[in-house]
């Protein structure tokens, strides 16, 4: 691991340097996983419950488990955070409130939250219960930190795409602005290729929303790449959207240096052996790096803030920590985005599932085994798999019976008939997927009768001859337990009680979750006291301290208000007057075309639309577009759609926007809400408005003209939203190519160049029209934006035309029709059909059949209820 060299700190480092030891946060989907995390040194765990969490396909705890679980965790000095990290619909708010009340009453340490409305609801329920802003909130800049802080967040989990350099810059800017919030960062585990909270792939392709905990992992499937209509030969690289797993092990010194407060390990769906292995490895790496950091900075504050534990296993279960990481679960390991963007390293594209440790290439095949030069250790009993470059097909593999060395090569033998040798070829790659000995050692780390990992306590002893002996034990967070003898101390005739004797007796904490860190001996005079009674004092104090730690946290819980606590019916009517209704007649409706090219724009300018939305890949072209629109007859207005994500340091994009002369902007992220606040704004779908509490907050706090409802809402859920908030707050997208993956990973750069990022890729996105082909034969268009972020759009447009009349009945008057690659003629024809639809001259069924569209609104069609 790289060492930190002591040096004089710059003003930047003075602002961003660490002042407290980071927390190590591990995943737990089951009791065994929780124990694995605790016994291997986690400072906190995060877990889901039976509802409202983003891992609904895995095992989860229940609300009924919370009292026992929290008592166990707190007795071991470990915090527990509940994941409430999904979007919540308006008709679920009452259930969500009940669920949150149970969570808060159980003494959970915090909730990890995605939904803005849920943040508001928590604050109505409890003024002091901690909220952690989930990575699903897509925070990538100081504006996002400020956004989350205003919602009451005490911790912000940054997007996985944030580099350590960007973390340092965000901390520096928030410290200077007085808006600093502790930052949590993923350091290990699976990487989503799309921005969390911004992936609509599972929804678009299968009616399962990632924002609702039902991700179908479409990123792990094989795809083919097409450029300018022709397939690109990529050899065995077919998993174009499947990143390697993240490993921040080597970056630990820089993680600490940049002031990260919590190191998060991904893996709530993983086995307890994985949790044990990764927690153990990162516990040691963090402790080692922290000790280096404290020594390098000579920072008294940092030293005094450092609290830690100790394990009965002083070193990792395997001498090579990376071996543990690769064997318990690995698709290959990389540093992700921690050290910036490297599109050549992020996705190797050769497989999308667990592979483990590469052993080498098969040189020859014999009757019951293969010959190869081993690149890693292998022994009898280990499990392996042969990779023939088609991981989506059935693969051969099994247990090893023996390994015989033949010079530099080794002959690996299998049980007779366990391998179909017709499916194994010379040149295949052999991977080690299982190490039973390692798994056994990992299980032994948490299947224990006595605690494996203990927390420090300090002991203070008071007394003098003729008075009672008093023992105080203080834990790592300041709780104090006191025990007092029933008999007074005696004057020592021979050897008096000394530090050595007291330390020996008070250190006998074997079956407890503690170890003695220090002793403060305040005895006066030469004291004598029986050892057996000292031991009893220790046991009494430990029991008291343990009971104190097991007590549930007491958060403030406000009494339930009327139904208006979760319904906006009262505020909706008030807010309705605060925001102007449609300027059109109450029965009129309007379509706003959403365009993505100058050709489409020119076509739309020939039509009688007063307002147009425009999204271009290069924001430098907006000024020209604005001039074109303003020069057209009819007093037309143009609203610009900026890049969907903003990362700290991309101020040049904002500058281009503010100087282009647009009539208004679609606010698509936290930066737009802040930097473009002097301009007319409308909230876009990427703000994830799924309920009325979110809508109310965004409309009132940021004075938005309107909002586009989240694309996660089906017709029924949209109806619930419209029943609880003014209809004139919203515009509904009736027609679009669903933006599926929105990602930092640049497919253009990774597979059409040899470059790492925009600086050396040669800009293939400017020269090629690219699509990816899925297993059904659909060619999904790929677009790059100003930040070199890629969006994969659904090949087929979808429509909510069937529900248009119902939406009109609800009072919706503003509708969006989005285009992607359509020709000017298609733009004109499509808009004409939707005009006739809203005028009652064309049925929704006829429209979607004639245009061959996907008949779907949001996740699934749903059923719009009558108002």
pLDDT in tens, 799-838: 999 999 999 999 999 999 999 999 999 999 999 999 999 9
Residue-level pLDDT at 324 = 95
Backbone angles phi, psi at 428, to 5 degrees: -65, 155
Residue 465: exposure state from Cβ atoms within 10 A (0-12, 13-18, ≥19): middle
Q: Classify 701 as helix, strand or coil.
A: helix
Q: Is pLDDT larger for residue 447 or for residue 312? A: 447
Considering the domain architecture, whether residues 437 and 503 belong to the same structural domain is answered as no
Of 446, 464, 499, the one marking the end of a domain is 446
Mean pLDDT for the stretch of residues 399-405: 95
pLDDT at 204 over 80: no
Residue 695 sits in the same domain as residue 813 = yes
What is the rounded CA–CA span in Å between residue 689 and residue 713?
9
Residue 200 reports pLDDT greater than 90: no
**pLDDT confidence band for 651 (50 / 70 / 90):** very high
Residue where a domain terminates, one of 273, 299, 334? 334
421 shares a domain with 303:
no
Residue 71 CB neighbour total at 10 angstroms = 18
Residue whose pair of structure tokens reads 């516990």 in the numeric block: 283
Mean pLDDT across 524-533: 94
Binned at pLDDT 50, 70 and 90, residue 577 comes out as very low
Q: What is the pLDDT of residue 12?
A: 45
User: For position 18, what pLDDT does the model report?
Assistant: 55
> Does 193 share its domain with 259?
yes
The whole-number average pLDDT for the span 59-66 is 89
Contact 799, 851 (CB under 8 A): yes
Q: What is the pLDDT of residue 714?
A: 87
Residue 284 placed within a domain: yes
Q: What is the pLDDT of residues 603-649, one digit of tens each?
A: 999 999 999 999 999 999 999 999 999 999 999 999 999 999 999 99
Among 483-492, 763-772, 774-783, 847-856, where is mean pLDDT lowest?
Answer: 847-856
Residue 349 located in a structural domain: no
- Alpha-carbon distance of 708 to 686, in angstroms, equals 9
The residue that leads in pLDDT, 855 or 212, is 855
Over residues 703-730, the pLDDT tens digits come to 999 999 999 898 899 999 999 999 999 9
Mean pLDDT computed over 150-159: 98
Q: What percent of the chain has pLDDT over 90?
A: 81
From 797, 791, 792, 794, select the one nearest 778 (Cα to Cα). Answer: 794
Written as one string, the DSSP assignment of 661-686 is --SEEEE-SHHHHHHTTTS-EEE-GG
| Residue partners of 255: CB distance under 8 A and separation at least 6 | 22, 164, 185, 187, 248, 263, 289, 338
* Confidence band for 212, pLDDT divided at 50, 70 and 90: confident
Which residue stretches of 227-382 are H helix?
Answer: 252-257, 272-297, 300-305, 321-328, 343-346
H/E stretch holding 403? strand 397-406
Is residue 861 a part of any domain in this protein? Answer: no
Averaged pLDDT for residues 690-707? 98
- DSSP per residue over 136-177, as a string? GG---SHHHHHHHHHTTEEEEE--TT--HHHHHHHHHHHHHH
Residues 141 and 195 in one domain: yes
- Residue-averaged pLDDT of the chain: 90
**Beta strands 514-523; 453-463: pairing state:** parallel
Confidence of residue 15 (pLDDT cuts 50, 70, 90): very low
- Same structural domain, 493 and 603: no
CB atoms within 10 A of CB 332: 18
- The CATH number assigned to the domain holding 605 equals 3.20.20.70
3-class DSSP state for residue 187?
strand
761 within some domain: no
Q: With a cut of 90, say whether residue 567 has pLDDT above it.
A: no
pLDDT, residue 854, reads 85
- Does the pLDDT at position 451 exceed 80? yes
Q: What pLDDT, on the 0 to 100 scale, is given for residue 132?
A: 98
Give the E-state strand segments of 489-561 in sequence order: 490-491, 514-523, 527-528
Establish how many alpha carbons lie within 13 A of residue 667's alpha carbon, considering only the half-sphere containing its beta carbon. 27
650 and 717 in a single domain? The answer is yes
Question: Is 762 part of a structural domain of the chain?
Answer: no
- For residue 49, is pLDDT > 50? yes
Region 770-780: mean pLDDT is: 94
Q: What is the mean pLDDT of residues 451-478?
A: 96
Residues 533 and 571 placed together within one structural domain of the fold: no
Do residue 134 and residue 279 come from a single domain? yes
pLDDT at 493 > cutoff 60: yes
412 and 294 fall within a common domain: no
pLDDT of residue 582: 35
pLDDT band at 213 (very low <50, low <70, confident <90, very high): low
| Enclosing H/E stretch for 437 | helix 436-446
* Domain region containing 517: 455-550
Residues paired with 790 in a beta bridge: 743, 784
pLDDT over 70 for what percent of the chain? 90
Residue 311 has pLDDT above 90, yes or no: no
Query: For tokens 């309007």, what's the residue?
Result: 590
Per-residue pLDDT band at 306 (split at 50, 70, 90): very low
Q: Where does the pLDDT of residue 571 fall: very low under 50, low under 70, confident under 90, or very high at 90 and above?
A: very low
Per-residue pLDDT at 60: 80
How many angstroms separate the CA atoms of 287 and 285, rounded?
6
Is the model more confident about 201 or about 172?
172
According to DSSP, the residues that pair with 462 across neighbouring strands are 470, 522
**Beta carbons within 8 Å of 806's beta carbon, 6+ residues apart:** 715, 719, 864, 866
Mean pLDDT of all residues in 88-109: 96
- According to DSSP, residue 92 is labeled G
Average pLDDT of span 409-438: 94
- Per-residue pLDDT at 206: 66
User: Does residue 765 belong to any structural domain of this protein?
Assistant: no
Check: CB of residue 599 under 8 Å from CB of residue 824. Answer: yes
Q: Residue 724's closest CA among 90, 89, 122, 92?
A: 90
8 A C-beta contact, residue 851 and residue 832: no
Same domain, 155 and 247: yes
Query: In this predicted model, which residue has the larger pLDDT, 311 or 54?
Result: 311
Query: Could you give the angle at the alpha carbon of 422 between the alpha carbons of 421 and 426, nearest 5°?
Result: 75
pLDDT at 3: 34
Q: What angle do CA 270, 273, 274 make, to 5 degrees?
A: 45
Residues 473 and 433 both lie in one domain: no
Q: What is the mean pLDDT of residues 419-435?
A: 95
DSSP for residue 520 = E
Phi and psi angles of residue 520, each rounded to the nearest 5 degrees, phi first = -115, 100
Q: State the total domains in the chain.
A: 4
Instruction: With respect to residue 683, please indicate whether it lies within any of the assigned structural domains.
Output: yes
pLDDT-derived band at 109, boundaries 50, 70, 90: very high
Residue 730 has φ and ψ, to the nearest 5°, of -115, 150
Lowest mean pLDDT among 4-13, 209-218, 425-434, 640-649: 4-13
Q: What is the CATH number of the domain that holds 437?
A: 2.40.10
Q: Is residue 211 part of a domain?
A: no
Residue with tokens 């009736």: 734
pLDDT, tens only, 166-188: 999 999 999 999 999 999 999 99
User: Does position 576 have pLDDT exceeding 80, yes or no?
Assistant: no
What confidence score (pLDDT) does residue 310 get?
A: 77
pLDDT of residue 217: 82
Domain's final residue, options 301, 334, 367: 334
Least confident range from 270-284, 303-317, 573-587, 799-813: namely: 573-587
């Amino acid at each position: 691991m790289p060492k930190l060299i002591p040096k004089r700190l710059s003003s930047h480092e003075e602002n961003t340097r660490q002042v407290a030891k980071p927390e190590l946060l591990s995943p737990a989907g089951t009791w065994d996983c929780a124990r694995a995390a605790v016994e291997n040194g986690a400072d906190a765990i995060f877990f889901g419950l039976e509802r409202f969490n983003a891992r609904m396909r895995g095992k989860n705890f229940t609300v009924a488990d919370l009292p026992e679980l929290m008592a166990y965790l707190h007795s071991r000095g470990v915090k527990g955070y509940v994941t409430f990290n999904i979007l919540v619909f308006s008709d679920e708010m009452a259930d969500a409130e009940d669920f949150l009340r149970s969570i808060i009453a159980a003494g959970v340490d915090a909730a990890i939250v995605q939904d803005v409305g849920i943040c508001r609801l928590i604050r109505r329920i409890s003024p002091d219960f901690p909220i952690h802003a989930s990575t699903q909130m897509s925070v990538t800049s100081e504006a996002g930190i400020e956004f989350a802080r205003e919602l009451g967040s005490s911790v912000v989990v940054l997007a996985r795409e944030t580099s350590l350099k960007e973390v340092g810059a965000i901390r520096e800017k928030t410290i200077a602005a007085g808006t600093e919030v502790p930052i949590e960062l993923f350091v290990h585990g699976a990487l989503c290729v799309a921005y969390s909270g911004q992936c609509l792939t599972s929804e678009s392709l299968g009616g399962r929303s990632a924002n609702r905990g039902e991700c179908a992992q479409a990123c792990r499937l094989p795809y083919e790449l097409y450029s300018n209509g022709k397939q690109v030969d990529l050899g065995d690289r077919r998993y174009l959207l499947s990143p390697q797993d993240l490993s921040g092990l080597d970056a630990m010194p820089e993680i600490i240096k940049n002031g990260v407060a919590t190191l998060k390990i991904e893996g709530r769906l993983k086995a307890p052996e994985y949790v044990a292995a990764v927690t153990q490895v990162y516990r040691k790496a963090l402790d080692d790096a922290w000790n280096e950091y404290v020594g390098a900075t000579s920072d008294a504050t940092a030293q005094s803030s450092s609290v830690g534990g100790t394990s009965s296993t002083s070193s990792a279960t395997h001498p090579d920590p990376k071996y543990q990481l690769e064997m318990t679960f690995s698709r290959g390991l990389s540093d992700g985005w921690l050290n910036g963007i490297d599109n050549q390293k992020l996705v190797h594209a050769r497989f999308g599932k667990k592979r483990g440790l590469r052993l080498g290439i098969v040189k020859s095949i014999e009757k019951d085994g293969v010959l190869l030069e081993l690149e890693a250790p292998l022994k009898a009993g280990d499990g392996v798999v042969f990779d023939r470059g088609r991981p989506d097909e059935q693969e051969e593999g099994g247990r090893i019976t023996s390994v015989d060395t033949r010079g530099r090569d080794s002959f690996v033998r299998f049980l007779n008939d366990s391998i179909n040798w017709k499916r194994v070829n010379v040149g295949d790659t052999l991977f080690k997927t299982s190490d039973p000995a390692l798994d056994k050692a990992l299980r032994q780390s948490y299947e224990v009768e006595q605690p494996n990992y203990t927390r420090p306590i300090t002991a203070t002893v008071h007394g003098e001859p003729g008075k009672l002996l008093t023992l105080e034990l203080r834990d790592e967070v300041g709780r104090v337990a006191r025990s007092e003898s029933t008999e007074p101390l005696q004057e020592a005739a021979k050897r008096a009680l000394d530090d050595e004797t007291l330390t020996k007796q008070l250190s006998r904490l074997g079956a407890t979750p503690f170890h003695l860190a220090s002793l403060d001996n305040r005895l006066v005079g030469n004291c004598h006291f029986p050892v057996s009674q000292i031991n009893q004092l220790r046991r009494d104090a430990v029991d008291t301290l343990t009971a104190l730690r097991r007590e549930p946290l007491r958060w403030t819980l406000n009494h339930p208000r009327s139904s208006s606590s979760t319904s906006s019916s009262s505020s909706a009517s008030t807010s309705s007057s605060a925001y102007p209704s449609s300027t059109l007649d109450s029965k009129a409706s309007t379509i706003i075309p959403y365009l993505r090219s100058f050709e489409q724009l020119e076509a739309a300018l020939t039509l009688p639309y007063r307002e147009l939305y425009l999204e271009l890949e290069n924001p430098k072209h907006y000024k020209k577009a604005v001039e074109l629109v303003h020069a057209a007859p009819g007093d037309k207005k143009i609203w610009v759609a900026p890049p969907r994500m903003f990362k700290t340091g991309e101020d040049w994009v904002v500058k281009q926007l503010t100087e282009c002369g647009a009539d208004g902007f679609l606010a698509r992220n936290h930066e737009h809400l802040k930097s473009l606040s002097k301009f007319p704004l409308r909230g876009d779908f990427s703000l994830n408005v799924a309920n009325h509490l979110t809508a109310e907050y965004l409309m009132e706090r940021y004075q938005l003209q309107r909002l586009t409802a989240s694309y996660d809402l089906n017709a029924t859920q949209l109806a619930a939203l419209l029943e609880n908030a003014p209809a004139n707050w919203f515009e509904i997208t009736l027609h679009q190519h669903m933006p599926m993956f929105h990602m930092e990973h640049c497919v253009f750069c990774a597979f059409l160049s040899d470059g790492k990022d925009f600086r050396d890729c040669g800009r293939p996105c400017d020269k090629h029209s690219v699509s990816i082909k899925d297993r059904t034969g659909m060619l999904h268009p790929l677009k790059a934006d100003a930040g070199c972020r890629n969006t994969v759009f659904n090949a087929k447009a979808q429509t909510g035309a069937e529900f248009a009349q119902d939406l009109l009945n609800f009072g919706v008057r503003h509708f969006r029709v989005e285009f992607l690659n359509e020709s000017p003629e298609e733009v004109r024809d499509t808009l004409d059909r939707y005009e006739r639809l809203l005028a009652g001259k064309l049925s929704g069924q006829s429209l979607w059949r004639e245009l061959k569209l996907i008949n779907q609104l949001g996740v699934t069609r749903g059923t719009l209820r009558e108002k």
